[in-house]
Amino acid sequence: MTIATILAVLEGTDTSDSALSAALSLGKRFSARVDVLHVEPDAAAAVPIVGEGMSGAAVEQILASLQEQAAARSKAARELFDSRAAQAKLTVVKPDAAIAPGKHEVSYRHVVGREDGVIVRYGLLVEFIVTERPEDGGATATSVASDAALFDSGRPVLLTPSEPVSSIGETVAVAWNRSRESARAISGAMPILRKAQKVIILTGREDDDGPEPSELAHYLAGHGIEAKNWAFTPGPGSIGDSLLAEAQKAGADLLVMGAYGHSRLRELVLGGATRGVLSRGAIPVLLVH
């Protein structure tokens, strides 16, 4: 499996540079097209929601503020793209131009509309979607963009940390808990695993049934991937904290894991381990739901 297209979603925030850097790094490494997407929210569409029970003047004031914020983010996203494209002397093509196999090109698309719907619209037919971690790093650990990409596109999603990283995919840690989500994450990450210099299987010592880490290593060997087992005992904190600590001990620049969640309402879409990794992760995380 090769990588032909990567979709990078830029929100025009302080963390957008990290997402764009990661997408361009992968695009260069795999000689792939990077389609950059910025979705500008339609402020007028939000008025019926925020304006209920308000005076006309108050609604107009809120609408003006939303439009100003949206315009500022759109401007920041475009300027970032133009700056990085010029700096790296990238070939910029129109977003609807035919994809040239084996050629690292970039495009920029600006759409006004509902962020979740637009991201799914353009994310269904790509190999990876790259999104930035929310600026607040709060309890949900996801934004509208990352949530839509992860749970509605069906594609592997690379969530980047707040600061750009120097490398990605050289040393890859795979979180293995014998689950369907873990298996799907490994399948989605296969192109990156094949190019990695080092692959490490992280497994917390537990009694769950399912394929052992050695069996996963055997499976990966069939794809030409040599993987080393790294068993650990989770600490007193969250399993997410333990995964991050072990990945960093192993020198990983990417963590691959399944995105878990039982109920969007009960757990805000993400299970505890996933949420912990995303809210505090200092390295990129590749997720598959």
The 10s digit of each residue's pLDDT in 6-46 is 999 999 999 999 999 999 999 999 999 999 999 998 877 66
Buried b (16+ CB within 10 A) or exposed e, 19-45: bbbbbbbbbebbebbbbbbbbbbbbee
Longest dimension (CA), the chain: 66
Q: Do 5-160 and 171-288 share a fold?
A: yes
Whole-model pTM?
0.87
Residue 126 CA to chain centroid, in angstroms? 13
Report which of residues 72 and 261 the model is more confident about. 72
CA distance 204 to 75: 45
Residues 202-234 pLDDT 10s: 998 765 677 899 999 999 999 999 999 999 888
Task: State the pLDDT confidence band at 178, using cuts at 50, 70 and 90.
Answer: confident
Task: Identify the architecture of domain 171-288 in CATH.
Answer: 3-Layer(aba) Sandwich (3.40)
Helices 43-50 and 56-87 sit at what angle, rounded to 10 degrees?
Answer: 150
Task: Identify the architecture of domain 5-160 in CATH.
Answer: 3-Layer(aba) Sandwich (3.40)
CA distance 15 to 30: 23
- By the 8 A CB rule, do 2 and 66 touch? no
Domain spans, the chain? 5-160, 171-288
